[in-house]
Chain A
Amino acid sequence: MSDNRALRRSHVLANHILQSTPLASNLSLTREVCLQYSPPELNENYGFDVKEMRKLLDGHNVVDRDWIYGLMMQSNLFNRKERGGKIFVSPDYNQTMEQQREITMKRIWYLLENGVFKGWLTETGPEAELRKLALLEVCGIYDHSVSIKVGVHFFLWGNAVKFFGTKRHHEKWLKNTEDYVVKGCFAMTELGHGSNVRGIETLTTYDPTTEEFVITTPCESAQKYWIGGAANHATHTIVFSQLHINGTNQGVHAFIAQIRDQDGNICPNIRIADCGHKIGLNGVDNGRIWFDNLRIPRENLLNAVADVSSDGKYVSSIKDPDQRFGAFMAPLTSGRVTIASSAIYSAKVGLAIAIRYSLSRRAFSVTANGPEVLLLDYPSHQRRLLPLLAKTYAMSFAANELKMIYVKRTPETNKAIHVVSSGFKAVLTWHNMHTLQECREAVGGQGVKTENLVGQLKGEFDVQTTFEGDNNVLMQQVSKALFAEYVSCKKRNKPFKGLGLEHLNSPRPVLPTQLTSSTLRCSQFQTNVFCLRERDLLERFTSEVAQLQGRGESREFSFLLSHQLAEDLGKAFTEKAILQTILDAEAKLPAGSVKDVLGLVRSMYALISLEEDPSLLRYGYLSQDNVGDVRREVSKLCGELRPHALALVTSFGIPDSFLSPIAFNWVEANAWSSV
């Protein structure tokens, strides 16, 4: 309605300015010989039920997602704007850092008032957790800053209180956190230590005379850094610190400290500085914190794992400091789960925009005076975008599976969650960055306008590759965990169980020497190649490490020296786990068009992964002829996925308003009348 009115008004204004009738009719004459925007929907058909596909991809809480999409669209806080006859909501990235921070906070207040965060900390169980994850994902589709600011408050501060704390902390903080009576942040990273949390230098001692802990920043490298929320808004923080009791370092512990009063003034013995302007996420107020012998009550130690008695005795149910540290870190998995799924939603936004544009934008004629060719009808353009689309599909199922095992976690599944979430977080966030760069290039110059999103998202999401664990470090952890599992099973002569390694109990798969099209698309063949690669790399990695150890190197140093195999193995493991999730999703479907198209997508995912991995040739899993066949099949699959391209991005379920003007009538959006 309002867009119609705005349009009408702009026409009236235009007429008013132009005044003369003949000019206007000339305009309509020229309009006819000009390029016309033709919506992709007019020429493309849906070969399957996009609503069904959307349910599969979103996986859960579709109605809740639609509700919060609507909440954002109907509010003026979300920068509604009309372009080309459509309403869009996306942040104004041309605002100053300070403006972006304030509007982000206001958006969060609005979502709070509308009950979006209800039960986020006080309700438990898989259903409540999935709802929360779905709503957070939609926040991130609107703006990464909103989801990060909300994520820091609930998933870092809130979950730390919930998981590291005990009843006294829960009663005091959880409800108040849910209602934003307190605004939390999470001070773990320091200038000198990021992924290596055990090395942090912040120091806490205990004073039994006052029953207080004393927190100190002993040197500049110990200043807390990148603390989201600290620069402007947070009132409280979790502080990670070494705990020294009677001269003994008991390792890293977590405390609660107030950093601002209710009026927003910084508390005594706290110094805060701003991290400054960033390449993205400027809606998040990252700050740096120094503690100058800050005194906090003894009760503020989050004591689920260890405690200090009033007279200053250290007590912990876990004696081994390594295990104790592990127990501290385990609940932080949620961060990697949400990052992995939000990376995929960002890739979906990029692809939906780039593919819709490529279905309405033409360039060059193949014949003299012939019509210009639609971008996505170029095989090269298909090759650039459609494999990324297939990967995004596969990883979408992977992210869903990760969420499911996370919300149903038990102490027994902690290790598997740690390994899988590490691999998925790294691979999915890298995939997003790669996808956004390709999408930005695929839409040409339009991609550099921030309102078209694809270019801007690169800066907004880049940080995902290093926060909550540097991707390279996480991938090494995957390889190390696989190594440990392998060595332990071999040593105890037990069959492999868990982490998807069961295939190691069967004989090594043998691949056919000739690869026909139907072999290449067969799920059994694809599984066999992925298993063979994982198995062989795992064997090579363990034997190389063993060799180095045999030469007297330490285990840790041997890992470092074997970094090339470690990298290949981590990738092989993760790609195989992803393939398994899309195969499982496909297997659950009844015969029909959705299953058929998902089969094509899965084959594309499997084959493009093979095409891009040099280890298949390096270690001879496939012959030179074989990789040629794979490459040809990828090209063929591009042609077969081309007719489904629009339906596949429509199935992402992202409302038009959350995409950008170039995804729709970009001619009208750029018309003189809309200047």
Chain B
Amino acid sequence: MASQSQVLVEEKSSVGILTLNRPKQLNALCFNMISRLLQLFLAYEEDPSVKLVILKGQGRAFCAGGDVPPVVNNMVQGKWRLGADFFRDQYTLNYVMATYSKPQVSILNGIVMGAGAGASIHGRFRIATENTVFAMPETALGLFPDVGASYFLSRLPGFFGEYVGLTGARLDGAEMLACGLATHFVPSSRLTALEADLCKVGTSDPSFVSTILDAYTQHPHLKQNSLYHRQYIACFININLQLLDVIDRCFSKRTMEEIISALERDATQELDDWILTTIRALKKSSPSSLKISLRSIREGRLQGVGHCLIREYRMVCHVMKGDISKDFVEGCRAILIDKDRNPKWEPRRLEDVKDSMVDQYFERVEGEEGWEDIKFPPRNNLPASSIAANL
């Protein structure tokens, strides 16, 4: 079956090794792969012989995102509900991973974007390498960082999550480790040996897995132009405090407009390349996407992972339904289909995206036969960190 070969399964002693296997599409997650992963994860949780799950990708990507073109096709044909099914299953997978009772080790030896982040960051261990490239590029597509990103981005230090989620900035493996998106950094040359050692673990106790991973971890070399360099701080992480200060100062602002004007103020003072690149990225993104993404991350900071995914599901349904803005179709056309990289956003300017429009994305979808909020399978192992006080 195609779906089975798209996810390769190896079961070695006490470990399930799953390999995303659609290398030509950079392992973009399609509906079948998501269903298969969900099925496997749920089965492994029940199977006492499986102590640990390893997830990795075939080829140069871990996973470059979700398989968007079919979703967009459906939307264009007015069948957005099929797309909703795709996202529902995907978010359910994210939820299961975030509340998983056994350690998941994701080996991020290549591109990790969008859906790929959702399939890895929620798990207990995330291994970055010198080949890792991470990004959440959704705002440039007219979407927003979903797959539970409002949960994990909002929990990065300071306002780094807003920066990563709004600008789609790329991070390398060292930077992922520094900000906490990755838990370990292992040179790719040692991955085979690491995997072999992990297969001997024989327990689901994360501290044992951790001990093995720690033996392979290296302190990565940060590039000179990295956000994180120069200053030497605790945990052997080098951080460019100055630039992180700018991020905190600007991306902590209450509104999208204030964030951009804070950046622009800093740009005229320091004329820093980084700031100009950042402003350019924000200005190229969908204004609607920016506003709903910011709100989503801010709400997510105060919510558990389950509630984050419920909210994101409401949001993605509104995005696909296209009743507030059609930017997602336009973004996919410009970036993925026509590739003219010149999307015509509507509304065109941030000021024209009113609060009342933003509010609508967070409401239930009304007047839609049979639509309901996403419901997750009951979990008997809800970790404290996934329990929310608010929705």
The chain A residues found within 8 Å of chain B, CB to CB, are 1-5, 8, 11-12, 14-15, 24-25, 28, 37, 39, 41-42, 50-51, 54, 63-64, 66-67, 69-71, 73-75, 84-86, 113-115, 352, 650, 653-657, 659, 664-665, 668
Contacts A5-B183, A8-B210, A74-B158; is A50 near B254 (CB within 8 Å)? no
Kindly state whether residue B189 has any CB partner on chain A within 8 Å.
no
> What are some 10 contacts across the A-B interface (CB < 8 A)?
A4-B124, A11-B207, A12-B207, A12-B210, A70-B301, A71-B252, A73-B301, A650-B390, A654-B389, A656-B302
Residue of A nearest to B311 (CB): A51
Main secondary structure of the interface of B (DSSP, over half): loop
A671 to chain B, nearest CB (A): 12
Kindly state whether residue B383 has any CB partner on chain A within 8 Å.
yes
14 further A-B pairs in the complex, CB-CB below 8 A; given A37-B384, A659-B389: A1-B179, A2-B157, A4-B180, A12-B214, A15-B208, A42-B380, A63-B298, A64-B254, A67-B254, A71-B252, A73-B301, A114-B252, A654-B389, A656-B388
Kindly state whether residue B391 has any CB partner on chain A within 8 Å.
yes
Kindly state whether residue B269 has any CB partner on chain A within 8 Å.
no
A258 to chain B, nearest CB (A): 32
A152 to chain B, nearest CB (A): 24
Contact B183 A115 (CB under 8 A): no
A57 to chain B, nearest CB (A): 12
Which of B78-86, B148-156, B326-334 faces chain A?
Answer: B148-156
Contact B207 A8 (CB under 8 A): yes
Contact A11 B210 (CB under 8 A): yes
Cα separation A186 to B385 with both chains bound (whole Å): 44
The answer, among B181, B206, B248, for a CB contact under 8 Å with A8, is B206
Contact A41 B387 (CB under 8 A): yes
Contact B384 A115 (CB under 8 A): no
The answer, among A1, A28, A63, A86, for a CB contact under 8 Å with B181, is A1
Residues of chain A contacted by B195 (CB below 8 angstroms): none
Main secondary structure of the interface of A (DSSP, over half): helix
B135 to chain A, nearest CB (A): 17
Cα separation A37 to B298 with both chains bound (whole Å): 29
Cα separation A79 to B205 with both chains bound (whole Å): 30
Cα separation A258 to B302 with both chains bound (whole Å): 42
Closest CB pairs A-B (n = 4):
A11-B207, A1-B180, A655-B302, A85-B384
The answer, among B124, B258, B382, for a CB contact under 8 Å with A115, is B258
Kindly state whether residue B223 has any CB partner on chain A within 8 Å.
no
Contacts A5-B180, A41-B387; is A66 near B302 (CB within 8 Å)? yes
Contact A14 B391 (CB under 8 A): no
Residue of A nearest to B213 (CB): A8
The answer, among B159, B385, B389, B390, for a CB contact under 8 Å with A74, is B159
Residues of chain A contacted by B159 (CB below 8 angstroms): 74
Considering residues A67, A74, A115, A656, which has the most beta carbons from chain B within 10 angstroms of its beta carbon?
A74
Residues of chain B contacted by A3 (CB below 8 angstroms): 155, 385
Residues of chain A contacted by B158 (CB below 8 angstroms): 74-75
Residues of chain B contacted by A654 (CB below 8 angstroms): 389-390
Cα separation A163 to B389 with both chains bound (whole Å): 40
Cα separation A656 to B155 with both chains bound (whole Å): 13
Residue of A nearest to B203 (CB): A25
Cα separation A244 to B203 with both chains bound (whole Å): 85
Residues of chain B contacted by A74 (CB below 8 angstroms): 157-159, 248, 252, 301
Contact A2 B252 (CB under 8 A): no
Residues of chain B contacted by A14 (CB below 8 angstroms): 207
Cα separation A665 to B214 with both chains bound (whole Å): 27
Cα separation A28 to B206 with both chains bound (whole Å): 12
Q: Total interface residues on B, using CB and 8 Å? A: 43
Cα separation A352 to B295 with both chains bound (whole Å): 25
Kindly state whether residue B249 has any CB partner on chain A within 8 Å.
yes
Residues of chain A contacted by B248 (CB below 8 angstroms): 74
Per-residue interface assignment for chain B, residues 323 to 354, with 1 indicating a CB less than 8 Å from any chain A CB and 0 otherwise: 00000000000000000000000000000000
Contacts A15-B207, A28-B205, A64-B254; is A655 near B389 (CB within 8 Å)? yes
Cα separation A650 to B388 with both chains bound (whole Å): 9
Contact A39 B254 (CB under 8 A): no
Cα separation A100 to B82 with both chains bound (whole Å): 56
Cα separation A186 to B348 with both chains bound (whole Å): 49
Residues of chain B contacted by A12 (CB below 8 angstroms): 207, 210-211, 214
Kindly state whether residue B190 has any CB partner on chain A within 8 Å.
no
Contact B384 A86 (CB under 8 A): yes
Kindly state whether residue B299 has any CB partner on chain A within 8 Å.
yes
The answer, among A28, A70, A653, for a CB contact under 8 Å with B154, is A70
Residues of chain A contacted by B214 (CB below 8 angstroms): 12
Contact B382 A41 (CB under 8 A): yes
Contact A650 B389 (CB under 8 A): yes
B156 to chain A, nearest CB (A): 6
Residues of chain B contacted by A650 (CB below 8 angstroms): 389-391
Residue of B nearest to A667 (CB): B384
B297 to chain A, nearest CB (A): 9
Kindly state whether residue B219 has any CB partner on chain A within 8 Å.
no
**Which residues of chain B (191-205) have a CB below 8 Å from chain A?**
203, 205
**Which residues of chain B (300-326) have a CB below 8 Å from chain A?**
301-302, 304
Residues of chain A contacted by B206 (CB below 8 angstroms): 8, 11
Contacts A12-B210, A15-B211, A668-B384; is A66 near B258 (CB within 8 Å)? no
The answer, among A2, A63, A71, for a CB contact under 8 Å with B155, is A2
Kindly state whether residue B253 has any CB partner on chain A within 8 Å.
yes
Residue of B nearest to A14 (CB): B207
Residues of chain A contacted by B203 (CB below 8 angstroms): 25
Residue of A nearest to B355 (CB): A63
Contact B384 A664 (CB under 8 A): yes
Contact B183 A2 (CB under 8 A): no
Contacts A1-B180, A66-B302, A665-B384; is A50 near B205 (CB within 8 Å)? no
Residues of chain A contacted by B181 (CB below 8 angstroms): 1
Residue of B nearest to A21 (CB): B208
Contacts A11-B210, A39-B384, A84-B384; is A69 near B205 (CB within 8 Å)? no
A92 to chain B, nearest CB (A): 20
Cα separation A656 to B158 with both chains bound (whole Å): 18
Contacts A5-B180, A42-B382, A668-B384; is A656 near B389 (CB within 8 Å)? yes
Cα separation A113 to B159 with both chains bound (whole Å): 14
Residues of chain B contacted by A64 (CB below 8 angstroms): 254
Cα separation A54 to B307 with both chains bound (whole Å): 15
Residues of chain A contacted by B207 (CB below 8 angstroms): 8, 11-12, 14-15, 24
Contact B387 A656 (CB under 8 A): yes
Cα separation A655 to B391 with both chains bound (whole Å): 10
Contacts A1-B156, A39-B382, A85-B385; is A63 near B205 (CB within 8 Å)? no
Per-residue interface assignment for chain B, residues 284 to 306, with 1 indicating a CB less than 8 Å from any chain A CB and 0 otherwise: 00000000000100110110100
Residues of chain B contacted by A28 (CB below 8 angstroms): 205
Cα separation A1 to B249 with both chains bound (whole Å): 21
Residues of chain B contacted by A75 (CB below 8 angstroms): 158
Residue of A nearest to B182 (CB): A1
Residues of chain B contacted by A657 (CB below 8 angstroms): 302
Considering residues B159, B208, B301, B382, which has the most beta carbons from chain A within 10 angstroms of its beta carbon?
B301
Residues of chain B contacted by A15 (CB below 8 angstroms): 207-208, 211
Residues of chain B contacted by A24 (CB below 8 angstroms): 205, 207
A16 to chain B, nearest CB (A): 9
Cα separation A659 to B155 with both chains bound (whole Å): 17
Residues of chain A contacted by B355 (CB below 8 angstroms): 63
Residue of A nearest to B390 (CB): A653
Cα separation A657 to B388 with both chains bound (whole Å): 10
A41 to chain B, nearest CB (A): 5
Contacts A1-B155, A12-B214, A114-B253; is A86 near B205 (CB within 8 Å)? no
The answer, among B152, B295, B380, B391, for a CB contact under 8 Å with A51, is B391
Contact A63 B295 (CB under 8 A): yes
Residues of chain A contacted by B387 (CB below 8 angstroms): 39, 41, 656, 664
Cα separation A74 to B157 with both chains bound (whole Å): 6
Residue of B nearest to A83 (CB): B384
